[in-house]
Amino acid sequence: MTEPKKLFIKTYGCQMNVYDSERMAEAMGGKGYVQTDTPDDADMILLNTCHIREKAAEKVYSELGRYKGLKADKPDLKIGVAGCVAQAEGQEIMRRQPMVDLVVGPQSYHRLPELEAKAREGKKALDTDFPEDDKFETLKNRPKAKRGPTAFLTVQEGCDKFCAFCVVPYTRGAEVSRPAGRIMDEARELVERGVRELTLLGQNVNAYHGHDKGLGGLIRDLAKIDGLERIRFTTSHPNDMDDDLIAAHGDCEKLMPYLHLPVQAGSDKILKRMNRSHTAEEYLKLIERLRAVRPDLHLSGDFIVGFPEETEEDFQDTLNLIKAVEYGSAFSFKYSERPGTPAAERPQVSEEEKDDRLQRLQALLKEQQKALQDAMVGREVSVLFEKTGRMTGQMVGKSEYLHAVHVEAEGIAVGELAKVRIASSGPNSLKGVLLP
């Protein structure tokens, strides 16, 4: 019997890349590949890259350098680069690292089997097109293996916002929404395989228009699927949070009370320079509307400090916005230049100022996160158990607010949903007691 070929995938970046990596593995599964957790015994290494963070491309080249020895020892080993760095760098990757056999962009990875076949013939394979054929339809036949209780489901890709700091419109392309019927079919299949919670993904997910009632309409249809208990979505833009989606947070029980809604800054001057197309006041009024329909809603956000021309006064405006919202969690970063974006050409803030502002901002966010977690003590929450804990008899799951919750309980299985009373709050998680 022929030994199966082994595929190692290293995934960088967001949840959408995690989803894409799953689909790449499925595509190569049809070519006889099985996944391995180590590059050492792989027949093919695939880096699924992200271009958002600082020096993203250089980190990829550095990672590729680690595989030179493997390539020398195994001449038949094929190495590929996928994702947004692949889209941005294209042929340059092969020029700088000749050992790379194939490069594929995030809209073309359904063509991986063809590219791998070309690479096996000793040819370099490159595909960074934005093809007309639907990659999701091409890869719709997923393996029917049992799944964990949570899963990502991409419903929308691309972005038309062109924020001054962001490369997504250039690497992922224009906004495209998948048809609602195809999403529903995939969701039902995932539920049949054991999934109880779906997180809907998109670069700008609430701009979804594949349903005649937008993302809110899609969520309401998904909520009718028996066995699907929880629905989440990420990442959103404030300008696309329409009335129906706001209402869904109040009247759709399966839509969890947690929302990631990036604002990036609290200064109107900086928001305008970022091309965010909304003001701080408009964002705060939107939060008020959301909390009016769902008072217990936990908010998460993204913040960039040290954006070009940001003054101390601008930064204080951001701190004031954070104090007004009271975030349950957030992601914060120092601004880093992205070649080809408008912000890269503007006067830059010094690294010392960026460092100082980031420390102050993160201290405030950490204080808010702790306060909100501490306030959970004594409350009853619903926990979806996802894995066993480090201690014998311990289970770990997520509350409806996305808090990690540890429970000492015998007889609870992965995938079960149970009521838990929160007993204590730790730095990054909660400890609870299972209720009868």
Binding-site residues for [4Fe-4S] cluster sit at 14, 50, 84, 159, 163, 166
Least Cα distance to 383 among 362, 358, 345, 409 occurs for 409
**CA dihedral sign, ordered 226, 229, 234, 238:** positive
Show the tokens assigned to 134.
Answer: 């639907």
- Annotated binding-site residues read 14, 50, 84, 159, 163, 166
| Total residues belonging to the chain | 436
- Report d(CA 273, CA 343) in Å as an integer: 8
Residue 129 tokens, joined = 């097109």
**Whole-angstrom Cα distance, residue 35 to residue 405?**
30
Is residue 21 within 8 Å of residue 104, measured between CB atoms? no
The closest of 288, 358, 348, 355 to 318, measured between CA atoms, is 358
> Among 300, 303, 296, 331, which Cα is nearest to 319's?
303
Instruction: Yes or no: say if 43 and 79 are a contact pair by the CB < 8 Å rule.
Output: no
Helix (H) or strand (E) holding 199: strand 197-201
First to last CA, the chain: 52
**Cα radius of gyration rounded to whole Å, the chain:** 23
Cis peptide before 392 (omega within 30 of 0): no
Report the distance separating Cα 343 and Cα 272, nearest Å.
12
